[in-house]
Structure 1
Amino acid sequence: MANSVIFFGTSDFSKSVLAGLIDDPAFDVVAVVSQPDRPVGRKKVKLQTQTKQLALAHELPVFQPEKLSGSPEMAELIALQADFLVTAAFGQFIPTKLLKSAKIAAINVHASLLPRYRGAAPINWALINGDKETGVSIMYMVKAMDAGDVIATDRITIEASDDAGSLFAKMAVVGRNLLLKTMPKLATGEAKGQPQDDSLATLAPKIDQQLMRINFYQQSADQVVNLVRGLSPHPGAFFQLENQRIKLLSARVGDKIGQVGQLSIKTKEQFGITAADGRTVLLEDLQPAGKKMMTVAAFLNGQGRTFNVGSKTNEI
């Protein structure tokens, strides 16, 4: 008999994990809980979350409370008496009363090697910090953020070519596969959790506007490139050159040249700004304010013509 599952998730990462549960005959997804649909883009069009779209395609019940605690939806979910509660990039804390309703286990698929990178943006921060390796942890859910006992982990190498988009896609597959391998062992009592060492814990807080700002006067070339990788394709790191805001989606480290914070290289195909350590950041894919993403060559054929070597970025 299939184990019943209530799934909590919102993003693309969540969608991949949910798809694995739906396709596995060992599990019966009886409900999907997602964040409420939010307005997106300049036109503020309200879009369904990724997990909601998948759930509706499979005719699964969908719950979207603004806040689970004390909601009518929570009472309905508890009444389901599911074998498993599974979260993956959900975006809300699960109340303890709901966690305790799971007959077998309430578990989370977290995109880091815990206790490293507890929090909302572990994949982004691994890239921002220039890590060479990351992974996925399956852990018991507790009231404290990502602090439950770890049941299983799997590691993945971060390639130099990875950005947040590509690493999210890779880790979603790793997380899905690890979850589907771990849950049967929990059902039989074979899998056990190991406490985390809280002294080794680091945080991965939400991405905010201040983090998204590139400061060539304070950040090294490596730090700038890692920040770009960690925030690409969304939400995107940005800088201001002569007061024009430009989102930078791909970049690489060049040679040492020019004055810190200034446009130091401009040719038909290269556009580089010198960072705090004296090395140049070569821009590859970018998006000027109000425009679509473009290659640096396309930018240089258009708006890039207005900038000359020596143009300054705004110090933040």
Structure 2
Amino acid sequence: MRLIFAGTPDFAAHHLQCLIDSDHEIVGVYTQPDRPAGRGKKLVASPVKQLAQQHGLTVLQPVNFKEEGALNTLTELNADVMVVVAYGLLLPQAVLDAPRFGCINVHASLLPRWRGAAPIQRAIAAGDRETGITIMQMDIGLDTGDMLIKTICPIAADDTGGSLHDKLLQQGGPALLQALQQIEHHTLAPEKQDDRLACYASKLTKEEAAIDWTQPASVLYDQIRAFNPFPVAYFSQGKDRIRVWGCAVEDTPAATKHTAGAIVSADNQGIVVACGEGALRLTQLQLPGKKALSVRDILNGHGDRFAVGSQLTGSQP
């Protein structure tokens, strides 16, 4: 079939590669405009654009489809299907209707749970035991269209946002190709979503990554895993913001004698911090301007910063 692809980050680029390796013809690739990045704020192409250019594919980067001629350009591609993966732009009805069989989306959750921008991280933070990939026929709503293919992916107790992203990446490509095969052979069996079961995965913000030590340790453990590698959970020590890359729930009765955020113990095995319920053992931290290190290495050079009984806070004062 003649396909248009629309996507922007690494997750999308992986699916574009699956289509490049298939028998389908990619007649156009849509991605977000180049963005400034790094210290020099130079314009950087998205992973999808970089991959498309490597394979000589036509790349289009409209700010939106209200631009003059943007819709006509898409329509003239005469596509059978438009495949959308983390594009970052809501599509108007005219775009959804342009391809012969409409637009389909690869979404990293078991819809209708976790509609929205950050389904992988929200699933971990909520303590979900499983997630998956949903291939969806797009409609005008936010991830509300009929479900075409669903796969299931267990969430391991030590999964992070990064590791779960990579697991779902491996499921997404085969599921997408299966959906395209069913479209081509007219064997789809669409399933409507139950809106009563819907919840929303809002975009991640750096502000919400601040650790609230009054929360139960189990809740903070899920949050810290979910926000690794972005936006990375953190606590404050004076004016310094310290990122937490690794931790474990600690079963220590001594924590009940301390206020939330107090350091209960600090040794080569980790820094134990009292929480609203239970305690967390911090095992990998990142000091300002430094790389992430094991707590063993950090205590060797900065042990005085983590004295037993000292108090950690969440957001910066």
1:264 and 2:269 aligned: no
Structure 1 counterpart of 2:155: 158
**Please, which moves more after superposition, 92-101 or 236-245?**
236-245
Kindly indicate whether the alpha-carbon contact (under 8 Å) linking 2:268 and 2:295 is maintained by their aligned counterparts in 1.
no
Alignment of 1:207 with 2:204, yes or no, is yes
Aligned to 2:103: 106
Q: 1:179 aligns with which of 163, 176, 184?
A: 176
What SS is found at the alignment partner of 2:162?
A: helix
Q: Which SS does the other structure have where 2:141 is aligned?
A: coil
Instruction: In structure 1, give the amino acid aligned to 2:63.
Output: E
Residue 234 (structure 1) aligned with residue 230 (structure 2) = yes
CA contact (8 A) 2:32 2:61 kept: yes
Within the alignment, does 1:4 sit opposite 2:2 as a pair?
yes
Q: Distance in 1 between matches of 2:245 and 2:230?
A: 9
Q: Which runs of 5+ in 1 are unaligned?
A: none
Superposed CA deviations along residues 37-81 of structure 1, whole A, max 9, x for unmatched, are: 222344434322111111111111111222233353332112112
Q: Taking structure 1 as reference, are residues 148 and 215 closer, same or farther at Cα in structure 2, changes over 3 Å only?
A: same
Structure 1 residue 244 displacement after superposition: 2.1
Counterpart CA distance in 2 for 1:46 and 1:265 is 46
* Structure 1 partner of 2:311: 312
Q: Distance in 1 between matches of 2:272 and 2:65?
A: 48
Contact 1:242 1:311 in 2 (8 A): no
Identity %: 36
TM-score by length of 1: 0.94
Cα distance between partner residues in 2 of 1:315 and 1:229: 17
* Conserved 8 A contact 2:211-2:314: no
Q: Secondary structure at the match of 1:7?
A: strand
What is aligned with 1:81? 78
The count of corresponding residues between Structure 1 and Structure 2 is 311
Q: How far does residue 7 in structure 1 lie from its aligned partner after superposition? A: 0.6
Report the Cα distance in structure 1 between the residues aligned to 2:282 and 2:263, rounded to whole angstroms.
11
Find the aligned partners of 2:79 and 2:303 in 1 and give their Cα distance: 57
Amino acid at match of 1:249: W
* Aligned counterparts of 1:53 and 1:144: Cα–Cα separation in 2: 30
Which has the larger displacement, 37-46 or 61-70? Answer: 37-46
Q: Once the two structures are superposed, what CA deviation does each residue of 1:1-42 show, in whole Å capped at 9, x if it has no partner?
A: xx11111111111111111011011x1111111112222344
**C-alpha distance in 2, partners of 1:46/1:294?**
31
User: Partners of 1:40 and 1:283 in 2: how far apart?
Assistant: 31
1:121 corresponds to 2:118: yes
**249, 254, 263: which one aligns with 2:245:** 249
Q: Deviations over 1:220-259 (max 9, x none)?
A: 1111111111110122111113442111122111123332
Please give the root-mean-square deviation of Cα atoms over the aligned residues, in Å: 1.5
Check conservation: 1:243, 1:313, Cα contact below 8 A. no
- Unmatched tracts of structure 2, length 5 or more: none
What is the identity, as a one-letter code, of the residue corresponding to 2:264? Answer: S
- Calculate the TM-score normalised by the size of structure 2: 0.93
More moved, 284-293 vs 149-158: 284-293
Which sits farther off after the overlay, 260-269 or 193-202? Answer: 260-269
Q: Secondary structure at the match of 1:297?
A: helix
Whole-Å separation in 1 of the counterparts to 2:234 and 2:64: 32
Question: Could you tell me whether the CA contact under 8 Å between 1:242 and 1:312 is conserved in 2?
Answer: no
Check whether the contact 1:269–1:300 (CA below 8 A) recurs between aligned residues. no
Aligned to 1:290: 289
Task: Name the aligned partner's letter for residue 93 of structure 2.
Answer: T
1:89-119 deviation per Cα after TM superposition (whole angstroms, max 9, x unaligned): 1111112111111112310000111100000
> 1:47 pairs with 27, 44, 48, which one?
44
Counterpart-to-counterpart distance in 1, 2:38 and 2:219: 28
Q: Conserved in 1, the CA contact under 8 Å of 2:84 and 2:106?
A: yes
